[in-house]
Structure 1
Amino acid sequence: MSEEQDIYKTIAKQGESLFKDRGSKFFGYVFPVHDEDEFKEKLAGIKTEHHQARHHCYAYRLDPDEIRYRANDDGEPSHSAGTPILHALQSSEVIDVGAVVVRYFGGTKLGVSGLINAYRTAAEQAIENTKIITKELEYAGQIKTDYAHLSQVIYFLEQYNASITKRVMEYDCQFEFRVRRSVFNELKDKVETLENTSFVGRN
C-alpha cells in the first residue's frame, strides 16, 4: 500500500451546530465512530436528548479499508435529509464519522430544496466546529531476538517510527509493535537479516 493510501481523515472529537431557517431549528452532531453498533448507541442518546423532535436524520461513513456508508431521512422527503448529511461527510473526506441532524419544525414548510440546504449546512457547521485529523493505517507485529541483536532491533523500530505496545525482557527479548502499513514490509525485511531473530506480523 502506498503512502497516500495508508492515511485517512477523521475527526478528533464531537462537533455540534445549530442552524435556523424560517422558525425551524436544526441541531447538528458529528462524532467519531468505528462501527454500526457504536453509531446506533450515539443515535439513541441523541434521540433521548431530543425526544420531542420529529426527525432525527443521519448518515455515516465507516472503515477506511472498504468504506461503508448509510443515509437515513427519518420521515423527511426522500433524499432531502440523509443524503445531504452524507454529502457533507464526503466533501470533508472524513471516515469513521457519524452525523445526526435533529429538526424541530417551526411552522413554515421549507420545501425539498430548503431541507437539503438546512440539513447539509447543519452537518457542515458541526464538522467545522470540531477538528479534522489525519490517522495512519497500521499493522501489528511481534519480534523475538537475543540480547546480542537487541540494539539493532530497537534501531529498526525507531527508524520506521514503530510504536512499541509491549516489551518483555527475559531469556530473550520480545517486542509487540504497530507500524504504518506502507513501511511494514521494509521493516520485516531488515529484521529478518538478523540472526536468532524472528518476525511475526499481519501482512
Structure 2
Amino acid sequence: MKSVYEGGEAEIVEKKSRFIATVRPVKDEAEANAFFAEMKKKYWDARHNCSAFVIGQKQELTRSSDDGEPSGTAGRPMLDVLLKEGVTDAAVVVTRYFGGVLLGTGGLVRAYQQAVSAGLDACTLIEKQNGMRLQIRTDYNGLGKLQYLFAQEAVPVVDTQYADSVSIEIVIPLERDQAIRKAITEKTAATAAIDEIGECVFALKNGELMFFA
C-alpha cells in the first residue's frame, strides 16, 4: 500500500474552470477534517472545495464530499482514484474556480479525477511494508556470498560491522522472511548465525531506508 510521504499540489484547466488539487498525508479522520477546513478557508472564494480521504492499511476508512457539485460527480470519483492507485493515509481537496462553461456530468468526473491524478504526481509516495529485522553473523568467507545474495534479492542492508567476524543487519518483507533465511543458510553452508531483532514497518525512498513506528 502506498502512503504520501510529502504532499503536493497541481492545477488543471478544463473549459476555463480551474481545478486545484492539494494532497496531504493524514493519520486519522480528525486530521483529514482539519485539512479540509484549512483548504476551505484558504480558497474561501472558490465555487467548490470537494474532498476525499482514505485511511488504514486496508483502505478501510473512506469519506468523500461533492461540496455542492452534482451528486457523484466529484467526491466519489476523487476517492476512486486514491483507491485505484493503492494510496492510503491520504486526503485530497480539489478546489474549483468556475470558468463560466458547464462541463456536464461526464466532464466533471473526468476533470476531478484528472486533478487528483495530477496532485498525486506532485507528491512523494512511498510504499510501507511489514518487515523483519535480522542480524547475520558470518566469517569473511561468507561476506561476499551474502553481499551478492542481498544485491540479487534487493534486500536492504541497514548496517555492517567489521571485527573478527562480520555482523550484517538487514530488513526483509515478512512474506519473504523464511525464503531469505533459507537462502542465507544455503549460501554460507549453514555457518552464518541468524538472530531476530524484531518486526518493523519500513519503506524505501530513492534508495534510502526508512523505519516507522
Superposition TM-score tier, normalisation by shorter sequence = 0.5 to 0.7
Residue 100 (structure 1) shift: 1.7
| Displacement after TM superposition at 1:135 (Å) | 4.8
Query: Is the contact made by 2:64 and 2:76 (CA closer than 8 Å) also made in structure 1?
Result: yes
Tell me the percent identity. Answer: 20
Q: TM-score, length-normalised on structure 2?
A: 0.62
Cα shift readout 1:53-100 (whole Å, capped 9, x = no counterpart): 36322223455x523352321632543321011123345x34245432
Instruction: Give the alignment partner of residue 183 of structure 2, picking from 165, 178, 190.
Output: 190
> Are the counterparts in 1 of residues 32 and 91 from structure 2 also a CA contact under 8 Å?
yes
Unaligned runs of 5+ in 1: 1-7
Structure 1: how far apart are the matches of 2:97 and 2:160?
54
Q: Is residue 140 of structure 2 the alignment partner of residue 161 of structure 1?
A: no
Task: Please say if 1:142 is aligned against 2:138.
Answer: no
- State the 1:164 CA deviation: 1.0
What is the root-mean-square deviation in Å for CA atoms of aligned residues?
Answer: 4.2
Q: For 1:90 and 1:156, how far apart are their aligned partners in 2?
A: 35
Q: Residue 203 of structure 2 aligns with which residue?
A: none
1:52 match: secondary structure: coil
Answer whether contact 2:48 2:67 (CA < 8 A) is retained.
yes
Which of 91, 112, 129 matches 1:119? Answer: 112
Contact persistence 2:133–2:170 (CA under 8 A):
yes
Greater CA deviation, 158-167 or 113-122?
A: 113-122
Cα deviation digits, residues 35-65 of structure 1 (max 9, x gap):
33775676565445424336322223455x5
* Pairs within 5 Å for 1:10-159: 14-21=8-15, 24-30=17-23, 33=25, 35-36=27-28, 43=36, 46-53=39-46, 55-62=48-55, 65-73=57-65, 75-76=67-68, 77-91=70-84, 93-96=85-88, 97-105=90-98, 115-127=108-120, 130=122, 135=127, 137=129, 139-147=131-139, 150-151=142-143, 152-159=145-152
Aligned residue for 1:53, secondary structure, equals coil
- Asked if structure 2 preserves the Cα contact closer than 8 Å seen for 1:62 and 1:69, the reply is yes
SS in 2 for 1:183: helix
Shift in Å, 1:101: 0.3
Partner of 2:210: none
Q: What is the alpha-carbon distance in structure 1 between the residues aligned to residue 81 and residue 53 of structure 2? A: 10
Q: What 5-or-longer segments of structure 2 have no aligned partner?
A: 201-213
Distance 1:108 1:159 in 2: 55
> How many Å separate the matches in 2 of 1:38 and 1:173?
45
Structure 2 CA distance for partners of 1:124 and 1:202, relative to 1, 3 Å: closer
Query: Cα gap change, 1:155/1:188 in structure 2, threshold over 3 Å: closer, same or farther?
Result: same
C-alpha change, 1:24 and 1:39, in structure 2 (3 Å) is: same
Q: Between Structure 1 and Structure 2, how many residues are aligned? A: 191
